Amino acid sequence: MFVYSVKTSKAKIAALILALAAIIIAIAMVMGKGKEPAANDSAISYKAENAAERAAFLSQFGWKISDDPVEISEVIIPQDFNAGYLEYAEMNKAQGLDLEPYKGMRAKRWTYAVLNYPGLENQDGVQANLLIFEGKVIGGDVCSLDTGGFLHGFDFPSVPQTTAAPVSAIVSEPETTEN
């Protein structure tokens, strides 16, 4: 029979426990990347599994939308962003949403008519687009499809849009498949 004994101190046991805790935390952080929106504002809910959650998401920014979507389509986030999509991705990053982890993936785009855009309340043509992946908002915009239209993030403007922002991301959007 063979017996082996080891002398340990409290300091060695504490160091071992701290090392194991650090490894568990690192594994948890790595496994969580790429699935959640990179939003810094924890007060905003990015849930979008159903119509009520999509409407609630947009209402957090002050938007009132139509009950039914104007369009639902499947989009493929491009693997390589062209100039227009780079601009679109940067706009989304500025609002706390990162499209980089979703390159090459399929998402759904839900488009709703905006009913309360300042200065354009009683007109058609202003829409909110939500990019949804696995029930969560990963990107999107508010835009006007009119000539000289605009495109911006979800923040509610304090004054009517008077200067046209480039709408290149809409014109050169990724491949879509209608549902």
Q: Is residue 30 one of the residues assigned to a domain?
A: no
Tens-digit pLDDT profile for residues 109-136: 999 999 999 988 767 889 999 999 999 9
Q: Is residue 5 one of the residues assigned to a domain?
A: no
Instruction: Give which of 37, 69, 82 is closest to 172, Cα–Cα.
Output: 82
Q: Is residue 32 one of the residues assigned to a domain?
A: no
Q: Is residue 135 one of the residues assigned to a domain?
A: yes
Identity of the residue numbered 35:
K
Q: Is residue 102 one of the residues assigned to a domain?
A: yes
The range of the structural domain enclosing residue 92 comes to 51-178
Number of structural domains (the chain) is 1
Identity of the residue numbered 44:
I
Give the mean pLDDT of 48-75. 95
pLDDT above 50: residue 105: yes
Answering whether pTM is above 0.85, one says: no
Q: Is residue 105 one of the residues assigned to a domain?
A: yes
pLDDT above 80: residue 23: no
Rounded CA gap, 89 and 120, in Å?
A: 26
State residue 16's pLDDT score.
65
Q: Which residue reads 């849930």 in tokens? A: 47
Q: Is residue 138 one of the residues assigned to a domain?
A: yes
pLDDT above 50: residue 62: yes
Identity of the residue numbered 111:
T
Q: What is the DSSP letter of 59?
A: H
